[in-house]
């Protein structure tokens, strides 16, 4: 075999090794991305609990807001009535 043939074979082995390494890295990266996507899709229990608590508190505050608005409307109506007389 000539030196040129030997160099060509070494080059082909090197390219094959690089291709295999590139496939391994791509596979590893895809696996990491899939894990991150799955982690992002699954809600954190602590975050879910905090969200539920915040939603319950928001509902309570909306109820209080409604009551306060009704009382203010009543007070405004009474004041208008008093001022008109």
* pLDDT score of 40: 63
* pLDDT score of 70: 94
Rounded to two decimals, the pTM is: 0.46
**What's the maximum distance between 2 C-alpha atoms anywhere in the chain?**
119
* pLDDT score of 39: 63
* pLDDT score of 56: 94
* Residue count (the chain): 85
Structure-token pair, residue 11: 């080059």
* pLDDT score of 41: 66
Give, for all 85 residues of the chain, the pLDDT tens digit.
788 788 888 888 888 888 888 888 888 877 777 777 666 666 788 888 999 999 999 999 999 999 999 999 999 999 989 888 7
Q: Give CA–CA dist 60/67, Å, rounded.
A: 11
Ramachandran area for residue 2 (φ above 0: left; ψ -120 to 50: alpha; else beta): beta
């Amino acid at each position: 075999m000539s030196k040129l043939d030997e160099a060509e074979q070494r080059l082909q082995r090197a390219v094959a090794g690089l291709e295999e390494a590139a496939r391994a890295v791509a596979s590893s990266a895809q696996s990491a991305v899939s894990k991150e996507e799955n982690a992002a899709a699954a809600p954190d229990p602590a975050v879910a609990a905090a969200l539920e608590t915040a939603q319950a508190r928001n509902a309570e505050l909306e109820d209080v807001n409604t009551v306060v608005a009704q009382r203010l409307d009543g007070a405004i109506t009474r004041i208008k009535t008093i001022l008109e007389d």
